[in-house]
């Protein structure tokens, strides 16, 4: 347990640090304004130059893919906790059906990204799927190999 004196000292130091951070931020803002007024730097040069150059459509497709992948992960976790045949206590589809739905949604998102090779190339995805099937076998303990 922290002694009262130490706790008070930490609290005071934390407050002082927060004040110092605010003061430094204000000084930086003043410096940027002064440098701009004195024509030492152009205003747009003060902004970071990092850009992804992604179009709105690309961002939308990536967002959809990320969202759907997250929903697959959520369903996998539910199945690991409750099993394939479990369902919500109030009824509804089984977890297996929900996982199938979410995987279908991921495949749709991938289809959007590979249509006309907009973002991704389907051949590369197929090649990587084949390569994974060869490399992952040594790490799988319970999968029966199809002949």
Task: Give the C-alpha separation, 49 to 51, whole Å.
Answer: 6
| pLDDT score for 119 | 94
Task: Give the C-alpha separation, 21 to 80, whole Å.
Answer: 46
CATH no. for residue 91? 1.10.287
68/118 same-domain check? yes
- Residue 34 belongs to a domain: yes
Nearest to 110 by CA among 136, 132, 128: 128
60/16 same-domain check? no
83/15 same-domain check? no
Q: Which domain holds residue 92?
A: 56-139
> Domains in the chain: how many in total?
2
Is the pTM here over 0.75, yes or no? no
| pLDDT score for 78 | 96
| Residue 28 burial (10 A CB sphere; 0-12, 13-18, 19+) | exposed
73/112 same-domain check? yes
Q: Using one digit for the tens of pLDDT, what is the confidence trace for 15-71?
A: 777 787 888 888 888 787 777 777 766 656 556 677 889 999 999 999 999 999 999
63/130 same-domain check? yes
């Amino acid at each position: 347990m922290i002694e009262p004196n130490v706790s008070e000292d930490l609290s005071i130091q934390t407050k002082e640090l927060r004040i110092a951070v605010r003061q430094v931020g204000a000084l930086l803002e003043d410096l940027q304004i002064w440098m701009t007024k004195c024509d030492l730097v152009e205003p747009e040069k003060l902004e970071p130059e990092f850009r992804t150059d992604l179009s709105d459509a690309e961002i939308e497709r990536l967002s959809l893919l990320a969202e759907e992948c997250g929903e697959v992960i959520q369903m996998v976790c539910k199945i690991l906790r409750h099993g394939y045949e479990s369902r919500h206590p109030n009824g509804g589809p089984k977890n297996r059906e929900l996982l199938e739905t979410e995987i279908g949604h991921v495949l749709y998102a991938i289809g959007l990204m590979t249509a006309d090779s907009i973002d991704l190339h389907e051949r590369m995805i197929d090649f990587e799927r084949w390569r994974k099937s060869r490399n992952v076998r040594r790490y799988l303990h319970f999968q029966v190999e199809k002949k």
